[in-house]
Structures are given as C-alpha cells and as structure tokens.
Amino acid sequence: MADGSKVLDVAGVSKRFGDLEVLSDISFQVAKGETVCVLGPSGSGKSTLLRCINWLERPDAGQIYLTGTEIGVTGAGIVMSDRELSRLRTRIGMVFQHFALWPHLTVLQNLMEAPIQVQKRPSAEVRDEALALLAKVGLSDKRDAFPAKLSGGQKQRVGIARALAMRPDLLLFDEPTSALDPELVGEVLVVMRELAHEGMTMVVVTHEMGFARDAATRILFLDRGRVVETAPPERFFSAPETERARQFIQRYAGHVANGGCRT
Amino acid sequence: MTGGDILAILQGAVVTVTLSLTGILIGLPIGLSLAVLRWADVPVVARIVTVYVSILRATPLVTLLLLLFFALPNIGIAIGPISAAILALVMNTAAFNCEVWRASLMNFPRDQYEAAQSVGMGAGLRFRRIVLPQIVRSSLPGLVNEMSLLIKVTPVLAVVGVVDITRAAVRIGAETYDPLPPFLVAVALYAPIVFVLVSLQRWIERRQAMAEAAA
C-alpha cells in the first residue's frame, strides 16, 4: 500500500467525533512538488483531514505515509511514542489559521527555536538561514520584533517562514488567509504562490478560489467527510463531474471571475 | 523596651523570613508539579492531586500544623517544631500555588502548543521552551499574592513553639507590661518584608516590558 515515490500517501483515513463522522475513508496521494488544494464547504472535514496528516488529530482508521514511512503507528503496529511522532513531524511543516506564533519570542527566535532545539543544528547556520527566509517573505526589518507588533499578514508570513526553517518535505496550510483582513490576503498568497512555483510540496486547505485555480496542480473536493471529486484545477473549475462540485463552484463563481477574491 | 528586646524581635524576623522563604522555595515547584499532573490528566495521579488540593485548601494552617506536630510522633515519626512548621507551610502553599499555575495552564492557547508539536518538539521541550516562560509570567501576580499571604500567616507557627516576630513581641510585652512598643516594631517589620517581594515582582514585570518595548 505504501508508495514510497509519493511524498504523502493517505489511505482510507476515517475520523469521528462522537456520533459525527467527520472523515470517511479518505484516500489520496501527493507527489513531490505538487500543490494540492483541498476545497469544500465549511464543516466538510478539510481541517480535520489536515490535522490527521501530522497526527495532531489521531485518525480512527486508515494509514498515512510520509515518503513511505507510516505516521503514528510503528512497524509493530503500536501507536508511536511522543518522541517517535515528533521525529516524523519535523519533516511536515504546518501553517495555522490563527498563526500560532510564540508571543514570548521575537520573530527571528520563532524561526530559530525548533531548528536549534529539535534538529540540533548549529545556531550560526540556523540564523543565516532564518534571516534568508525572512528576506524571502519580505520581513527582514521585523526580525527583532515580537509577534504582537505585527499585522495579520506579517504574522502569517512569519508562520510560513517558521515552518520552512525546519526544511520540511511537506507543508500543510490550514486556511492560512481566513483570519486576515481582505487587504492583507494578497501578501500571504504571493509567498504561497512563490513556494508552489519553486516546487515545494504543499497541501492547502483554502477558500481562495483564485489561488486554487492558478497555483494548484490538483484539487481535492471534500463534502461531508468524503472525497467527492479530484481533478486538475482547469477541469475542476470548468467541467466539474459532480453536482455538488458544480453547486460549490457556482457559489464562488463571481469570486473566481474577478481574480479570486476571498469569500 | 531595651536594645536586647529589639534584638530579640529581630531574631524573630530572621525566623519569619527563613521559614517563609523555605516554604515559598519548596512550595513553588511542588505546586507547579501538582498543576502539571492535573493538567496532563495523568491517570489516578490527577485524581489524587485534586483530592489533596481540595482537602488542603479547606484545612486551616494552624490545624494542619497541630496535627503534624502532635500526631506524627504518635505513629512513630519524630518531628521538631521547625520541621513541622516548614512541612505545614509547604503542604498548604503548594495546594494554593497549584491552583494559580493550573489556571494559567488551562488558559494557555491550544494552537501555540500545537505549533510546537508540529515542528517536532517533544513534550519536555514544549513545556520548557514554550509553555513555562509564558505561564510564569501570567502566574506571577497570583503567586506573589499567595507568597505575601504565607508570610503574614507565619505567626500561627507559634502554637508549636516557633518564636517568630509576633511571638517575640508578645513575650516582650508580657515581661515589660508595655505591649505597645514591641507590637509597633513587629508591625513595622512585616511591611518591608512583603515590600521586598512586591518590588521583586514589579522589577521582573518591568524588565519584560522593557525587553518588548525595545524590540
């Protein structure tokens, strides 16, 4: 089942919260360099799916493989210890809806914390790389600021840089622009587009149809915890196969037409 | 009141400060440990901690102290007045500290914790590097409040024969039949002790604020 040529292989993942079945039998794969956008109405399980991938949420059934290594369960079929799980998580970056920066650390310290403490890389090297990442997201001048002093768009760009500082194989975005003022969405999407073009492997849960249309290599459409449709963006947006996808796209049609404003 | 009397009260002050400081320094980390056990919901242990905290918070310090001092020897554990006093202070303040720490832990933003998990920090690192520095800050006012209460409750330690500031003053008043001067000295001594503590809190808070303003 595990296909090592894929960065991510999700096989039959299910998750329920009490009586509510949030995910049922989700399967998909992500190849290196792909940007998969997960779309779907709210409550369709998109965020839960993302959180299951790095085991922030423990799936009830199914397997998740990162370059062929199963996440969360050891070869002997036992649930991984915190230590084993942590080692795998270093290879999966995550960007949170509400940024989740550490407020007691400066911007630069937010970036350097895990590479030094977790990966034990030399601090001079980590610092150089962190400064380069801050330059890349356009925040060199904010390196000594505390997160409280930043705008939402700046915070999210720091969040992306923090995830990149770990040199991950896979980057997960959990509605990265949903908490932002409309005029700040663009600056975050610019950074994400650049990453996509550079060949970063990404899974992006989003409501940004414009981004999904021109940055995704593939769309995964979720409804009520199931993968209803999966297709390249051109086909998904112009000729969706299912009625549910058609309705969903129609609702966002105006936004797509004028270049993908947020909803 | 003679110079010797004042010296006696100052000796009492040394006892008050020493016992308070010992109680605070031991009670603080124990309170934190208890709070973490409850927060992490460690099976069985968390229940025991809950019961311990409820009982200790409902027990007057003086009653606890008398129980330890008079009952422990009955079951074969010899205990002196100073040891009994320290033990009672620690047991009492740890329970109250636990609740202060726990309130901070419960208010800790979940997504910050998950962000630490997502970059591969293990439980120890997450706590030490991300949670602890922030809960120390949010717990500080509550903890200093509990510390100043502890200092002011030390006169009850006199019931087992510990001679603190107040006990020394009572003795001198009884000998000289002039209780006003020794009690004025006693009152004047508590204020600076508590003041030092509050100043320390202010200093820590100011230092943090300055570090952030500089950025």
Q: What is the CATH number of the domain that holds A37?
A: 3.40.50.300
- Looking at the domain assignment, is residue A21 inside a domain? yes
Inform me whether the pLDDT recorded for A21 exceeds 70.
yes
Q: How confident is the model over B29-39, as pLDDT tens digits?
A: 999 999 999 99
Q: What is the ipTM of this complex?
A: 0.91
Within 10 angstroms of residue A5's Cβ, the number of other Cβ atoms is 10
Collect all residues from A whose CB is shorter than 8 A from any CB in B: 54, 56, 82-83, 86-90, 92-94, 96, 98, 100-104, 106, 113-114, 117-119, 144-146, 148-149, 162-163, 166
- Looking at the domain assignment, is residue A22 inside a domain? yes
Distance of CA B34 to the CA centre of its chain: 14
Q: How confident is the model over B73-93, as pLDDT tens digits?
A: 999 898 999 999 999 999 999
How many separate helices (H) and strands (E) can be counted in chain A? 9, 10
A4 falls in which pLDDT band (50, 70, 90)? low
Place of tokens 């503590």: B197
Rounded distance between C-alpha atoms, residue B97 and residue B29, angstroms: 9
pLDDT of residue A2: 54
The nearest CA of chain A is from the CA of B140 a distance in Å of 15
Residues B36-52 as b or e (16 or more Cβ within 10 Å = b)? bbbbeeeeeebeebeee
pLDDT of residue A254: 58
- Looking at the domain assignment, is residue A243 inside a domain? yes
pLDDT of residue B213: 77
* Total domains, chain A: 1
Calculate ∠ Cα A95-B113-A113, nearest 5°: 70
Q: How confident is the model over B159-200, as pLDDT tens digits?
A: 999 999 999 999 999 999 999 999 999 999 999 999 999 999
Inform me whether the pLDDT recorded for B28 exceeds 90.
yes
Q: What percent of chain A has pLDDT over 90?
A: 90
By the 10 Å C-beta count (0-12 exposed, 13-18 middle, 19+ buried), B195 is classed as: exposed
- Looking at the domain assignment, is residue A189 inside a domain? no
A89–B119 C-beta distance less than 8 A: yes
Q: Which residue of A has its CA nearest to B120?
A: A86
Select the residue of A106, A114, A148 nearest B119 (Cβ to Cβ): A114
Tell me, yes or no, if B111 comes closer than 8 A to chain A by beta carbon. yes
Tell me, yes or no, if B137 comes closer than 8 A to chain A by beta carbon. yes
3-state secondary structure B66-92: HHHHHHHHHHCCCCCHHHHHHHHHHHH
Domain that holds residue A9: 1-91+206-263
Q: Which tokens in the block code for residue A33?
A: 């360099």
Q: Which residue of A has its CA nearest to B133?
A: A104
A166–B119 C-beta distance less than 8 A: yes
Give yes or no for a contact between B113 and B193, defined as CB atoms under 8 angstroms apart: no
The residue-averaged pLDDT of B121-149 equals 95
Inform me whether the pLDDT recorded for B95 exceeds 80.
yes
- Looking at the domain assignment, is residue A231 inside a domain? yes
- Looking at the domain assignment, is residue A144 inside a domain? no
φ/ψ (deg, to 5) at A68: 90, -10
Place of tokens 């993908």: A260
Calculate ∠ Cα A51-A54-A57, nearest 5°: 45
How confident is the prediction for chain B on average, in pLDDT?
Answer: 94
Rounded distance between C-alpha atoms, residue B154 and residue B163, angstroms: 10
Q: How confident is the model over A145-183, as pLDDT tens digits?
A: 999 999 999 999 999 999 999 999 999 999 999 999 999
B115–A96 C-beta distance less than 8 A: yes
Q: What percent of chain B has pLDDT over 90?
A: 91
The residue-averaged pLDDT of B1-25 equals 93
B125–A100 C-beta distance less than 8 A: no
Tell me, yes or no, if B40 comes closer than 8 A to chain A by beta carbon. no
Strand residues in chain B grouped as ranges (E): none
Distance of CA A122 to the CA centre of its chain: 27
- Looking at the domain assignment, is residue A261 inside a domain? yes
Place of tokens 């808070």: B205
Rounded distance between C-alpha atoms, residue B102 and residue B111, angstroms: 18
- Looking at the domain assignment, is residue A83 inside a domain? yes
Rounded distance between C-alpha atoms, residue B136 and residue B105, angstroms: 10
Distance of CA B196 to the CA centre of its chain: 15
Give yes or no for a contact between A72 and A55, defined as CB atoms under 8 angstroms apart: yes
Strand residues in chain A grouped as ranges (E): 6-17, 20-31, 35-39, 61-66, 69-70, 92-95, 170-174, 202-205, 218-223, 226-231
The nearest CA of chain A is from the CA of B26 a distance in Å of 27
Taking each helix axis from N to C terminus, what angle separates B110-118 and A82-89, rounded to the nearest 10 degrees?
Answer: 80
Within 10 angstroms of residue A253's Cβ, the number of other Cβ atoms is 12
Inform me whether the pLDDT recorded for A255 exceeds 50.
yes
B215–A100 C-beta distance less than 8 A: no
